[in-house]
Structure 1
């Protein structure tokens, strides 16, 4: 299918290399983003009962058994705000949905809950997750249309820092307004570090932004996968229609996002479809090829014929390598 030179490094490796070449601000942000990997104290600091909100003068009440919320979304907003003011991250540990797909039961806990595991496969440089098996959590059950807290534990077995709350992943968000600015500047050829700098100036400082430069960089990297350039999607559609007109056995499918931009493509010509009937017992799948200037991973389905030769059974171009995309492709 190709030489080793055609293999592109994994996306995260590219990001790591790119971040090492950015400014000191990014390095500091990355360090703070990995707060959960730092060594923590063994003590259990107490959490104040009433905490001032960082966004306004309202008081965030400490979770108590019996508290009720109108919806699961309201519960999430409340607990994330409480955690942000206290200085810890939030994750969903367990959840269960009803037949109408509404959340019936949920457990929200500290992001450091769970057993510690080594994330890196490099034995020489192990990278712990920072999990401390923290038991801080809340259980909520839907009762009479409302989410009611049934179990509450507000004690942590690690140090917490309200001053660094904005660096936790659960508190970082690039909103739609910022995305439009980043998209526009990227199309105009403005470097991302300059776009981020303008956002910092507009917000009055780094501390006023709910995201880091690498969050913007990750968004732009993904957004670029969705752009085929002027007329690119239309040209592909016309080509597929011509091929299907010439031969009804030619199969092609295109997946568009909410903005009608091309996300994913799959196609298989008649020869590939015929080959699959005979040699489809074993199929290999690989997305490590980057064959176009838009950065969309090429995803070939390859089989082996009776001569031991590789044959193409189908192919795709995908926008990202996540579960949703692979589900669509397969």
Structure 2
């Protein structure tokens, strides 16, 4: 669509009305269609009555006019406002309790690229295994760029990934570097409780300071307790001495039994 061209928008009511049990199902249907067509969506407006949603408007993410802060005379590569009007209207049928798509606008003011849809922000995601690798690499001091390139190499190319390097850097900033000591203490306590729930023989003691930071912690799993009972007393005293980014002070001596002798640290 060229600047100054009148955009003809065709709004139509579907002849065969699809029904959905929930608003989320209807929104997911349009999101799946958008991904296949090569564009992303966003909820533009939601109308409620007595705290109950009655209808919702979902548009193309490029809806609306964008005004640049740079004057048109200074632009080296000027572009027209997108103002895309592709959208759907969803509302609930009274006395039936089902949702329908009542109106649809399919025309876009821009080109859509189905083969590049996974690179749109709405569809990019980091799996649990990817997040774990990012955390481990960050802990080891590996640069985000190197981490991302390792994913590229393992997948066989950039196009085989459904995320970009920016997503890796954002995850490090948002999830890794902003972890507080208080959150660490809470998560550690939850972990000990989960282990106890899995096996009642698991034993732990956790004591927190007044500010909810860890003062002392001790735990022993079922195997360790059985070995201790069979072979005798065991002392474990591991030391880190503020060597990691959490400034954790944890000391450890390693005991000796008749099978092997371990180095004693102090």
**Which bracket does the TM-score occupy, shorter chain normalised?**
0.5 to 0.7
**Secondary structure of 1:210's partner?**
coil
Cα distance in 1 between the residues matched to 2:43 and 2:76: 26
The answer to whether structure 1 residue 89 and structure 2 residue 40 are counterparts is yes
Match of 1:323?
none
Cα distance in 1 between the residues matched to 2:126 and 2:19: 30
- Deviation string for 1:93-137 (max 9, x for gaps)? 111346566x4321111122112222579x956998974222110
1:88-107 equivalence runs, <5 A: 88-97=39-48, 99=50, 103-107=53-57
Cα distance in 2 between the residues matched to 1:231 and 1:85: 39
Cα distance in 2 between the residues matched to 1:148 and 1:128: 40
Alignment match of 1:187 (pick from 128, 136, 139)? 139
Match of 1:167?
119
- Please tell me whether the aligned partners of residues 119 and 129 of structure 1 are also in contact (alpha carbons under 8 angstroms): no
Match of 1:80?
31
RMSD of aligned residue pairs (Cα, Å): 3.9
The answer to whether structure 1 residue 238 and structure 2 residue 189 are counterparts is no
Give how far 1:170 is off. 1.5
Give how far 1:179 is off. 1.9
Match of 2:257?
none
**Secondary structure of 1:195's partner?**
helix
Segments of structure 2 that go 5 or more residues without pairing to the other structure are 7-12, 187-207, 213-244, 247-266
Using structure 2 for the length normalisation, give the TM-score.
0.56
Give how far 1:156 is off. 1.4
1:247-266 equivalence runs, <5 A: none
Cα distance in 2 between the residues matched to 1:153 and 1:88: 14
Match of 1:108?
58
- Please tell me whether the aligned partners of residues 95 and 107 of structure 1 are also in contact (alpha carbons under 8 angstroms): yes
Match of 1:307?
none
Give how far 1:79 is off. 1.4
- Please tell me whether the aligned partners of residues 119 and 127 of structure 1 are also in contact (alpha carbons under 8 angstroms): no
1:38-57 equivalence runs, <5 A: none
Match of 1:149?
101
Give how far 1:218 is off. 0.6
Using structure 1 for the length normalisation, give the TM-score.
0.46
**Secondary structure of 1:140's partner?**
strand
Provide the aligned length of Structure 1 versus Structure 2. 184
Distance 1:173 1:119, change over 3 A: farther
Cα distance in 1 between the residues matched to 2:80 and 2:26: 26
Distance 1:172 1:135, change over 3 A: same
- Please tell me whether the aligned partners of residues 138 and 149 of structure 1 are also in contact (alpha carbons under 8 angstroms): yes
Match of 2:89?
139
The answer to whether structure 1 residue 203 and structure 2 residue 174 are counterparts is no
Segments of structure 1 that go 5 or more residues without pairing to the other structure are 1-39, 45-62, 242-292, 295-330
- Deviation string for 1:46-72 (max 9, x for gaps)? xxxxxxxxxxxxxxxxx9462222322
Distance 1:183 1:131, change over 3 A: farther
Cα distance in 1 between the residues matched to 2:107 and 2:23: 23
Distance 1:93 1:160, change over 3 A: same
